[in-house]
Amino acid sequence: MEKLRAYRLRRRIAVPLMLAFSVLWLGTMALLTASTQDRLDITVQRIYKDARDDLEEQWSYYEANLENGLGAEAEHIMVDNLSSSSLAFTDIAEGGMAFVTRDEENHVIQSQLAWGYGHEADVDMGQRWHLRFDNGLDDAGQLELAQWIMEHRLQHWSYTLYPPDGWFAEDAAKDPNCDGRYARITGIELPGYAIEVQKVEIVHPDGTIETMVETTTPGEPTITLDLHYVKISSVLLPGLSYSGGELENSPVDMQLRLKNFRETQAIVSRELADEDRVVQTRGGEITGMSNGSSGTMRMVAGQCSTLTAAIEEEQFLYISTFLLTAAVVLLLSGHLSRKVTSPVEELSQQAAAGHCRVDGPITELNALAVSFNRAQDQLAGQLRREREFTRAAAHELKTPLAVLRTHAEALREDILPEKREQYLGIVLEECDRMAELVGRLLEFSRLESGAALHREPLEFAGLIREVLEPLELQLEQKQIRLTADLPELPLTGDRERLREVVGNLLSNALRHCPTGGEIRLALTREAGWACLSVRNDGLPIPAEDLPHLWEPFFRGDRSRSRKSGGTGLGLAIVQAAVTAHGGSCSVENLGQGVCFRIRLPLDPDSTSGTANTSEHA
């Protein structure tokens, strides 16, 4: 019955919300988007028709210029005109267009992404020089050139320089590009008064030189011209619009526009190579005239997504209808929420009491109750551990403080110098003990709180040997034999934390190993893990104490009493540091002693082979 009630409640809430959202928003948006896309498709076809007509017209001009004796210059004029015409799709989701022609002699003419022209004197005075950039500009170069033009153009769509005493001298007062600066063009001269540009520099009236663009066109430059009138354009440039009485760049996605123009060039290249004319990219198309027998071709390739353009165009409607639908959903949810308030309020009251039912009528609330109860249990356990830790820390500090107070009171009295020296030694010893305890408390607290590790590549066996060296004297004094099997095992970890881990394990083994006993170290590789075992002779640990050895300040049997030294935090720090590295710790009794083990993850790319080395001390 409860499951049935929960299902009915979910249905009462979900059905109105789903109907309102899907019918009022998704349905409306689908219809509007489809209608707008159909309209844009018609616009695209009209643009293709206009582009084909423009191409035929430019072809007629080209042939007329050839008849008038312009020769190779006729080609450059046509390239400039076709490049300007290739901007027809940029208003439709940053679409691109490319023109290509091929005559019977297999001579190909294509539109460019960046182009320009100029005169040495003034507008249309003297020879016009045509500038070619595309062969020396990759995508990054095209973007950098367009960005430079955007930042330096003022009153014109392209970057234009005029001489101050020329036709446009009256503009000099309001256009810095008419202040006498000119363009120095360096490159390779082509037939027909054209230059394959290698560098364009802007020479300012004060003599300073600013580099506009530097291409990767190979070869030694064969010509350098100073053009006082120059006009340089790029298909990546956005339009200009007035805002607050000033011209500003319109929004543009240069990366998307460049991608679309590159796709049109790829379509043209496939057509020129007589490859399969099926266009693989959505929105791509090629149209025009191609004569297979003569090899002539006059084609227009385009790339634009009318769906993307439709979505961008209808953004305002999307937002307005979404807000309307959201308002309806809020009203519905406000009406329906009253039907679910009772279970929620009940859950809230139970949470305030500290424990929640997990068998309520709403499955989702039951899951929340389970999570809350689990969190409460975890929090209670954490608070209990913190209280135990605080109590143990206070107990550990109580004894040295009592010793300090007793001897400090004795020092206030008139005592023999020998006794004074003895008492001062005891005070210093207890101060050192407290300093060590506080330091280890801080270290343990940092590890428990998840402090960041300073990870670095290291060789674990070498690190262990570094820790062993200072302990050699203690080993000799207790006549303890040390056996170490330490193959080379590279891993990544915090060097200082791992040194402390190894040091604590060795100090623990040395402290509890009887005189004349043996300590054995073994470092092995086990399925992607570096496993270090530290085994020492001595009395076994009571079985009931084994699970608690890693707890702070735990002192089980007499062998781990305060008289044996240590702070009671060594093994706790070991476990905290190893866990922070993603490893694990364990301990077990052996026949004649105790063995502590730690496992640390190895580097994934570490070699499987190791060089085994055994050491005896």
Average pLDDT over residues 362-379: 73
Q: What angle do CA 507, 585, 451 make, to 5 degrees?
A: 85
Instruction: Give me the CATH topology for the region 363-447.
Output: Helix Hairpins (1.10.287)
Please check the confidence at residue 615 and state whether its pLDDT lies above 70: no
Choose among 39, 27, 35: nearest CA to 321: 27
pLDDT value, residue 293:
66
Domains of the chain: which residue ranges?
Answer: 16-94+109-259+302-312, 363-447, 453-616
pLDDT value, residue 274:
78
pLDDT value, residue 587:
92
**What does the buried/exposed string (b/e) look like for 167-198 if buried means 16 or more CB atoms within 10 Å of the residue's CB?**
ebeeebeebebbebbbbbbbbbebeebbbbbb
Q: How many CB atoms lie within 10 A of CB 27?
A: 12
Model confidence at 614, pLDDT cuts 50, 70, 90, reads very low
CA 421 vs CA 203, 412, 418, 424, 434: distances in Å: 87, 13, 5, 5, 20
Task: Tell me which of 99 and 249 has the higher pLDDT.
Answer: 99
pLDDT value, residue 214:
95
SS3 of 128, please? Answer: strand
Q: Is 473 exposed, middle or buried (0-12, 13-18, 19+ CB in 10 A)?
A: exposed
pLDDT value, residue 7:
55
Radius of gyration, CA atoms only, the chain: 42
Please check the confidence at residue 234 and state whether its pLDDT lies above 60: yes
Model confidence at 200, pLDDT cuts 50, 70, 90, reads very high
Please check the confidence at residue 427 and state whether its pLDDT lies above 60: yes
Average pLDDT value for the chain: 81
Please check the confidence at residue 521 and state whether its pLDDT lies above 60: yes
Please check the confidence at residue 432 and state whether its pLDDT lies above 50: yes
Contacts of 237-246 spanning 24+ positions with Cβ under 8 A: 237/146, 237/149, 237/150, 237/153, 237/157, 237/158, 238/150, 239/157, 240/157
pLDDT value, residue 39:
92
The pTM of the full predicted model, rounded to 2 decimals, is 0.53
Which tokens is 116 given?
A: 């320009």
Choose among 461, 469, 583: nearest CA to 524: 461
Average pLDDT over residues 217-221: 90
Average pLDDT over residues 68-87: 94
DSSP bridge pairs for 601: 529
State which amino acid sits at residue 373. N
Q: 218-222, 249-253, 329-333, 603-607: lowest mean pLDDT where? A: 603-607
Render pLDDT for 436-449 as a digit per residue (tens, 0 to 9): 666 666 666 666 66
Average pLDDT over residues 65-76: 93
Please check the confidence at residue 616 and state whether its pLDDT lies above 50: no
Model confidence at 26, pLDDT cuts 50, 70, 90, reads confident
Widest distance between CA atoms in the chain: 126
Render pLDDT for 29-65 as a digit per residue (tens, 0 to 9): 888 989 998 999 999 999 999 999 999 999 999 999 9
For residues 547 and 579, give the distance between their C-alpha atoms in angstroms, rounded to a whole number.
16
Which tokens is 42 given?
A: 């018609």
The β-bridge relationship of strands 490-494 and 209-214 is unpaired
The 8-class DSSP code of residue 175 comes to -
Q: Which residue has the tokens 């301990």?
A: 587
pLDDT value, residue 12:
65
Model confidence at 377, pLDDT cuts 50, 70, 90, reads confident
Choose among 112, 54, 24: nearest CA to 322: 24
pLDDT value, residue 607:
47
pLDDT value, residue 62:
94
pLDDT value, residue 437:
61
Contact 110, 117 (CB under 8 A): no
pLDDT value, residue 66:
93
Task: Tell me which of 432 and 74 has the higher pLDDT.
Answer: 74
The string of DSSP letters for 499-541 reads: HHHHHHHHHHHHHHSPTT-EEEEEEEEETTEEEEEEEEESPPP
Task: Identify the CATH assignment for 453-616 out of 3.30.565.10, 3.30.1440.10, 1.10.3210.10, 1.10.10.10.
Answer: 3.30.565.10
Average pLDDT over residues 451-475: 86
pLDDT value, residue 280:
47
Contact 192, 71 (CB under 8 A): yes
Please check the confidence at residue 316 and state whether its pLDDT lies above 90: no
Render pLDDT for 261-276 as a digit per residue (tens, 0 to 9): 999 999 988 888 876 5
Q: Is 476 exposed, middle or buried (0-12, 13-18, 19+ CB in 10 A)?
A: exposed
Average pLDDT over residues 456-483: 89
Please check the confidence at residue 104 and state whether its pLDDT lies above 50: yes
pLDDT value, residue 11:
62
